[in-house]
Amino acid sequence: MQIFSSPRPRTVLALQGGGAHGAFTWGVLDRLLENEFKFDAVTGVSSGAMIAALAVQGMVKAGPQGARTAITKLWTRVMEGNLFGNFPATPLDWMWDTTKALSNDFAWTGLTQALRLFDPAQLNPLGQNPLEPLLRELLDTKALCAPNAPRLYVGATDVETGEAAVFSNAEIGIPELLASACIPMMFPTVRINGRHYWDGGYSCNPPLAPILTPKPETLILIRAQPRQRSGVPSATADIVHRLHEIAFQAPLAAELSMLPRNVRLVDIPADEALSHHPLTSKLNTDRPFLEALFDAGRKAANNALHST
């Protein structure tokens, strides 16, 4: 584990996971970094973990504008590759085709039915994860370990214990980032040092404890999931969707309830941008959708800047 001897950090970042919804986080950070924003530590899971890692290595190489460039390159590659539209051919190609229109009920119904009927080995027989080649291209693990690197923490969920596992700068590579984003119904479980891991959102979303020692002055939390939705769902798919959202918020809510009083919290919500999108939109990597979330993130950052 990397040892840092820096004084009390002034500002730390917490980035929620949310798959393609991480484009909202991209927009928020793009606006903050545009103002030469600097952070002393960052924690994240899933897409938030990948954004955090790219932000740290970009900060090491060229400061805030380097972090901004690195994150933009990540999401540009995601849009160019349409990552979740390029799964290997299976008998369920019809299901993946529906993800091009993920905002409609038919797509969600098709996906949930497939997840009930087929196990992960059938849905993804080659065990491919489209994020792996992307990370091989972009990730610079040496930069993450540089003496001037902000502290970086990535959360995953230990399959057998159900507990959160947190990796720090020198421990973080492609396997750790894939573990943090491992959706167990779609991707093979990630094995690291004899342990097996799933998406960090199940146990920590994201883990806050590491960035609160030493105690910071300000914690900026960027959400990538809506906290509230109007109305009570009645359809099975909508109920499952809302249950997932509630479950993924619970670990973070528990940690926030113990936040020290003298730590200033800047909570940047995603409700306005995401509450009208279904769960399956987390797999939508079409450019117009991601660019709309990016714009919404920049707007949310502007609101935060003007209110603080």
With CA atoms as reference, report the closest residue to 206 among 248, 260, 259, 245. 248
Instruction: Name residue 306's amino acid.
Output: H
Distance separating alpha carbons of residues 221 and 261, to the nearest angstrom:
16
Distance separating alpha carbons of residues 242 and 44, to the nearest angstrom:
22
257 counts as catalytic: no
* List 30, 47, 180, 199, catalytic entry: 199
Residues 280 and 108 sit within 8 Å (Cβ to Cβ): yes
Phi-psi region of 36 (alpha: psi -120 to 50; beta: other; left: phi over 0): left
Structure tokens at 202: 């199940």
* List 30, 40, 46, 281, catalytic entry: 46
The Cα-based distances of 163 to 22, 166, 177, 257 in angstroms read: 23, 10, 17, 19
30 counts as catalytic: no
Distance separating alpha carbons of residues 276 and 190, to the nearest angstrom:
32
The CA R_g of the chain, rounded to the nearest whole Å, is 18
User: Annotated catalytic sites, by residue?
Assistant: 46, 199
